Structure 1
């Protein structure tokens, strides 16, 4: 048994080594002839492997009148394939000690399995089946249509504040597809024909519009051979051409009101349209949100919740997407505090940011916090696989972005923080939304 002092020394050494390891992610990448981008990260520390595929398709790729397709395919591609019976996909994963899931955003769809490493081949086979020949038929479409409708009811229609982001984005992005919701319109899905679903799959779920990212206990040479066996024969699709829809700058404060039958407390939000996630300013704005509202010692929380006791909850976050971002602040009143009072007090903290540099102590705290978040994000194989894929898909095919992120964090100065607050967080370039309960009629 280790003596206490030796134990803590060993633990500290282990954490230090883990920190160093997480700061540098080694990887191998290449393209198959069909355009599939392959990313491999070997990690022998545990007999586990994460197999993931990120398709560069999200709700922003949909057309008016046919929204919800990308999220719908997140569900539909679990239905089955030519070689996997309907409803068997998840059963196969569970029976072999694995876990799996998928998620969709405005910009991409991400599928993954985490298996014991001796089931690595199974993970590759499942994802190749999904990509090569899924069964897309009327039975699957009708089944998943009901699943999506139930998800919408649970997550949005019957959840307090469930439509908040959609209400904000509708005004913030009047032209860009971000103005719609990821889950889309149920009427659009009901009206869509089977051939339209098949055409959407053929256009976007192709090897040349995807990144296969694998992290864990693998042999790289063997992995390359297996990947070639399972994926090389999948036909290349037509190039996916995407043109960003430009929004006109906001030059005058917008004010709107939305109602939610599921809430009792009103909320006030202020939202600024900001650059997308490839911009250094996006990370700077993320740092500003942490300074203002992350934890009990943050400026907004201490002032509005602890000291003045005018808010039950207050926060801010940078919703970073590919084409644009949305910097959102919000507050829930305590003791019937007027919503405009909450807005004014939050604005006052932003003005301080625009006027003065944050303290050296606060700056060091932010740097430590973001470095720790960075290390944590790369501490598990699935996180590594997703971060590597994100670098390739969202940062101009720069898979190494995950290794450059820490440098980017450290490069953000106190002056950068003040400059970003001045540039983006102006009342004349925002949306103020009053998110209110539905008045009960007697």
Structure 2
């Protein structure tokens, strides 16, 4: 799966439980290819009467379980004037509901030695808990309650608005990295739902009404818009019966499919970006920080997988091409550099980011970087480097297959993005078949200077 930066791809794609791996007999388990690795996942997949998808995988090693709930709603379903609604709403899901006072959810988790959290992306909103097995029924009740009965108490709503605005300042307005990332998204995805930040524009967050958020909640927090994944020490049949009893009775949103079809129209995701472009932004960075970005394909394409390889070859680790060229050589120009392939449901961006050393001329460096990129398709993409990337995948495949939470994230992400948690079988085959020609082809196609956006943040740039 190629939906985000390379490290995130590895952690989400290649996570499972250690007792669920099979290799060919009589072979060194690290000597084989990716195609020789098989996840022997025992997963039960069901759909409740109201349309909610359920995935359950039992693991009885310890009396604990992880529960992930994926909602198909993110920044891509927002319009100008409502940006940040999804993220703001995520905060409110931990507040008062019809039958539970504010704080009930978190207090129950913490009092039983567990932990919980949530995150919002452009494509989805995900809630997760890691708790003892004896809490399974109460956790399901709590999830059912906040799926159906959120109240958006006025006082709590206004307090959380300020929390979100402060979070925005910390992540974007007062952070050079946040500034440059937001500028990149606005530039590459101009005029599309991806052209901003998940937290939203400050003006929109300040003006968002409770009524508008409640409308958003009722539209998208429906069982037929959710996937629930449970991994750990549970009884599958008993859990499914209990889910049907507690969540199966929640009414589905019959208008959801039509609404999502409208919001997912391809025309909404056609970027109006005018490339190439060079932008300079005033910020707090003592030395120039930069990003060089290019439009790229969305999730699940073979070209996207090839771009994952290219990102690793160019900018992952001390031996990567750009690190050796600009950071560790005899005359270094950069403090750091990395490359990433960030893919979303309906589009993507390939980018290179780094920070200059003191007294390095920004304009001269930009020209030098562009020349290096043009040479990299042949100089960096070699059989050795392609194989090294496959080895990285192999090592991470083993090192990340440790926890219930890891498997929950893995199953949920594949089911969410592809509609089938078994998608990893196809992905591993694609990664294993990757070769020099395929990686060079995407390098030449997508890393064109005519499609580039070079953005820098520096305290010496004009305000």
Q: How high is the TM-score relative to the length of structure 2?
A: 0.86
Q: For the Cα contact (< 8 Å) 1:250–1:430, is it kept in 2?
A: no
Q: 1:376 to 1:345 in 2, by over 3 A?
A: farther
- Secondary structure of the residue aligned to 1:135 is coil
User: For residue 387 of structure 1, what is the aligned residue in structure 2?
Assistant: 410
Offset of residue 200 of structure 1 = 0.4
Greater relative CO (CA pairs within 8 A, separation 6+): 2
Offset of residue 357 of structure 1 = 7.5
User: For residue 428 of structure 1, what is the aligned residue in structure 2?
Assistant: 450
Q: Which moved more, 1:405-414 or 1:91-100?
A: 405-414
CA separation in 2, counterparts of 1:16 and 1:173?
40
CA separation in 1, counterparts of 2:302 and 2:382?
21
User: For residue 339 of structure 1, what is the aligned residue in structure 2?
Assistant: 362
Q: For the Cα contact (< 8 Å) 1:171–1:179, is it kept in 2?
A: yes
- Secondary structure of the residue aligned to 1:327 is strand
CA separation in 2, counterparts of 1:377 and 1:130?
31
CA separation in 2, counterparts of 1:63 and 1:345?
39
Q: For the Cα contact (< 8 Å) 2:287–2:357, is it kept in 1?
A: no
What aligned pairs does 1:38-437 form with structure 2 within 5 A after superposition?
Answer: 38-237=54-253, 238-240=255-257, 241=260, 242=263, 243-244=265-266, 245-248=268-271, 252-260=275-283, 262-307=284-329, 308-355=331-378, 358-395=381-418, 397-437=419-459
Q: For the Cα contact (< 8 Å) 1:357–1:418, is it kept in 2?
A: no
Q: 1:139 to 1:251 in 2, by over 3 A?
A: closer
Q: Which moved more, 1:198-207 or 1:75-84?
A: 75-84
Name structure 1 gaps, 5 residues minimum: 1-14
Q: Which moved more, 1:274-283 or 1:16-25?
A: 16-25
Q: For the Cα contact (< 8 Å) 2:49–2:244, is it kept in 1?
A: no
CA separation in 1, counterparts of 2:79 and 2:62?
44
Q: 1:136 to 1:176 in 2, by over 3 A?
A: same
Q: 1:425 to 1:440 in 2, by over 3 A?
A: closer
CA separation in 1, counterparts of 2:451 and 2:395?
33
Name structure 2 gaps, 5 residues minimum: 1-16, 24-37
Q: Which runs of 4+ in 1 moved over 6 A?
A: none
CA separation in 1, counterparts of 2:131 and 2:334?
45
How many residues of Structure 1 are paired with residues of Structure 2 in the alignment?
Answer: 425
Q: For the Cα contact (< 8 Å) 2:96–2:103, is it kept in 1?
A: yes
Q: How high is the TM-score relative to the length of structure 1?
A: 0.90
Q: For the Cα contact (< 8 Å) 1:25–1:402, is it kept in 2?
A: no
Offset of residue 362 of structure 1 = 2.0
Q: 1:81 to 1:403 in 2, by over 3 A?
A: farther
Q: Which moved more, 1:144-153 or 1:99-108?
A: 144-153
Q: For the Cα contact (< 8 Å) 1:250–1:429, is it kept in 2?
A: no
CA separation in 2, counterparts of 1:107 and 1:121?
29
User: For residue 6 of structure 2, what is the aligned residue in structure 1?
Assistant: none
CA separation in 1, counterparts of 2:51 and 2:112?
30
Offset of residue 26 of structure 1 = 2.8
Offset of residue 315 of structure 1 = 1.4
The Cα RMSD (Å) is: 2.3
- 2:52 corresponds to 1:30: no
